[in-house]
Amino acid sequence: MSGTANSRRKEVLRVPVIDLNRVSDEEQLLPVVRAILLQHDTFLLKNYANKAVLDALLAGLTTKDLPDTSQGFDANFTGTLPLEDDVWLEQYIFDTDPQLRFDRKCRNESLCSIYSRLFKLGLFFAQLCVKSVVSSAELQDCISTSHYATKLTRYFNDNGSTHDGADAGATVLPTGDDFQYLFERDYVTFLPTGVLTIFPCAKAIRYKPSTMATTDNSWVSIDEPDCLLFHTGTLLARWSQGMHTTSPLQIDPRANIVSLTIWPPLTTPISSKGEGTIANHLLEQQIKAFPKVAQQYYPRELSILRLQDAMKFVKELFTVCETVLSLNALSRSTGVPPELHVLLPQISSMMKRKIVQDDILKLLTIWSDAYVVELNSRGELTMNLPKRDNLTTLTNKSRTLAFVERAESWYQQVIASKDEIMTDVPAFKINKRRSSSNSKTVLSSKVQTKSSNANALNNSRYLANSKENFMYKEKMPDSQANLMDRLRERERRSAALLSQRQKRYQQFLAMKMTQVFDILFSLTRGQPYTETYLSSLIVDSLQDSNNPIGTKEASEILAGLQGILPMDISVHQVDGGLKVYRWNSLDKNRFSKLLQIHKSKQQD
């Protein structure tokens, strides 16, 4: 039974294969391609007649026809470009529309022969793909033998043979047996923007099956060297109007991979909604793929794309912050705003990346009133949702929509500026802090003035002292022994003072235990209560008393009560370190007796 289940699981993850020995003409291939594209974005082609010729040409590329490294890489993203790990990229673009000129031609005979064979096959299947999932008759006729654009890409590595699957580190053991080392491949993400991309050898490539989410970092390796691989691009997915979706591939550049991508002419509009032409979309993809080249030829466009990524990040971060703060407000029984460093781990977990304080302050740059960010008495930043009345909540638009509109307005102002475009949203600088009533702001300069006035009063009182206090007396000669004695005496006094403070602090907590016990006694027994909920409830209940306490003191008092009444109050620690308290019955008389015993032990 388990073997059958495993075989079914493997069949689900298998790439669809078109066997040309079974289907060959267009009438037979069209329904097959349509059925594949409704569920997949990758398929293999088996028993291609010229596959042996392609393999021989690919082998010659690795050993004989080396790329011309002296031609450079121009603003059209054509030529030869050195990459990492001794890998070279060779790329050529061709367009039948005379409005766009790509003057660099491919002079490599083997690469040209590969291009001619891949182009005929790729153009045929590109037309099939468009007819399969694109309903517009005008778009179905946009690709033909006289109207097209192509991009030929080749990766070259001198040591590429060491990374081929079958010949990876092959050697012969003393026994005469063959032994092979398996090298770990280094994959890079590859997202075609055209209608279709064809690979002459389905090897050193990984794809994402349709059963996996786009954000899931799970890939399935393809090792079918006797097949050609076809992968649809983002243009076909956009023109299909939801009938077809595509996802990125992962390729190993060190495996000397060659690919051919096919478009309609690059001046073709993507849609009638003013989204630009195919050339704009291709330029954007090339800028993202080669940022170093774009920094030289298209610095402004590169900055705009990076700023777009930053805007996408802050929009997603705002949505997550809304969720976290709303859940935090529901779980807390007091209106005390949470500290920002307490919220960051949960926000980072939901964002699936590390979020720091400056990332939160970027939201205030877009919308300064999005959140109430203040400094508490401990010097920590607190973050809370702004107060809104019910009428405003019902009549105004959602906060997320309001933030998106403000973000778009801020973005348009930045890119409309003639100055150098920033690549990220700057963090908001907090120059003011709110008063305790949240009704007005107190300038830091006023605070400094107030403190300086207080110092002036202190100085005036000090000047009224006698003259002898300002005269330096002559120091008596001292020895090293007396100095050590004074240091030891100072340490003893410091230790005694610290012990006295700790004792008084414990006495203060013991005094507050009665009030906290009354709060617990008023709650429903037999119910679980988190330490966060109880601490915030205790702080809120005692904030109007003579000696209010904080959440830290409340947690220590709860632990002390559980230590005095271990049979009555139980505590359990769940995943993440959160403590949960529960009690069934509480006796005030018994607690009073045990509390007196606890206080007497502290005095002793």
The answer to whether the beta carbons of residues 149 and 264 sit under 8 Å apart is yes
Low-confidence ranges of the chain (pLDDT < 70): 1-13, 159-185, 211, 213-216, 333, 389-397, 431-481, 604
Within 8 A by CB and 6+ apart from 371, the residues are 321, 325, 360, 363, 364, 383, 384, 385, 386
576, part of any domain: yes
Token pair in block for residue 278: 């195919």
Tens-digit pLDDT profile for residues 4-21:
444 444 444 678 999 998
Within 8 A by CB and 6+ apart from 591, the residues are 517, 564, 565
Token pair in block for residue 602: 């502290």
Residue 539 CA from chain centroid, whole number? 36
206, part of any domain: yes
122, part of any domain: yes
Q: Fill in the DSSP letter of residue 73.
A: B
Collapsing DSSP states into helix, strand and coil, what is residue 339?
strand
Contacts from 159-165 at CB under 8 Å and sequence distance 24+? 159/86, 159/254, 160/62, 160/254, 160/255, 160/256, 161/62, 163/204, 163/252, 163/254, 163/255, 164/203, 164/204, 164/255, 165/203, 165/204, 165/223, 165/225
200 and 86 in a single domain? The answer is yes
6, part of any domain: no
pTM given for the model: 0.64
76 and 155 in a single domain? The answer is yes
Strand ranges inside 428-551, DSSP E = 432-434, 441-443, 529-530
- The domain spanning residue 352 has which CATH number? 1.10.10
520 and 394 in a single domain? The answer is no
The answer to whether the beta carbons of residues 43 and 15 sit under 8 Å apart is yes
User: What does DSSP say about strands 42-46 and 227-232: parallel, antiparallel, or unpaired?
Assistant: antiparallel
pLDDT value at residue 479 = 55
239 and 320 in a single domain? The answer is no
243 and 383 in a single domain? The answer is no
296, part of any domain: no
319 and 246 in a single domain? The answer is no
33 and 155 in a single domain? The answer is yes
pLDDT value at residue 163 = 47
pLDDT value at residue 178 = 55
194 and 240 in a single domain? The answer is yes
**Domain end position, chosen among 224, 252, 271:** 271
How far is CA 580 from each of CA 331, 390, 535, rounded to the nearest angstrom?
13, 34, 11
pLDDT value at residue 217 = 72
- Residue type present at position 454: A
- The domain spanning residue 168 has which CATH number? 2.60.120.330
Tens-digit pLDDT profile for residues 467-495:
555 555 555 555 556 777 778 888 888 88
**Domain end position, chosen among 245, 271, 297:** 271
**Domain end position, chosen among 271, 297, 323:** 271
383, part of any domain: yes
Count: domains in the chain: 3
Tens-digit pLDDT profile for residues 241-297:
889 999 999 999 988 899 999 999 999 998 877 788 999 999 999 999 999 999 999
pLDDT value at residue 442 = 37
Domain containing 100 equals 17-271
582, part of any domain: yes
pLDDT value at residue 436 = 43
342 and 266 in a single domain? The answer is no
The answer to whether the beta carbons of residues 277 and 269 sit under 8 Å apart is yes
What is the three-state SS of 238-294? HHCCCCCCCCCEEECHHHCCEEEEEECCCCCECCCCCCCEHHHHHHHHHHHHCHHHH
150 and 66 in a single domain? The answer is yes
Collapsing DSSP states into helix, strand and coil, what is residue 553?
helix
pLDDT value at residue 5 = 44
463, part of any domain: no
Bridge partners, 441 (sequence order) = 434
52 and 175 in a single domain? The answer is yes
373 and 265 in a single domain? The answer is no
pLDDT value at residue 335 = 73
Q: Give the Cα separation of 308 and 317 in Å (integer).
A: 14
Q: Give the Cα separation of 128 and 49 in Å (integer).
A: 19
Q: Give the Cα separation of 163 and 451 in Å (integer).
A: 70
Collapsing DSSP states into helix, strand and coil, what is residue 544?
coil
Within 8 A by CB and 6+ apart from 83, the residues are 89, 155, 253
pLDDT value at residue 450 = 36
- The domain spanning residue 534 has which CATH number? 1.10.10.1420
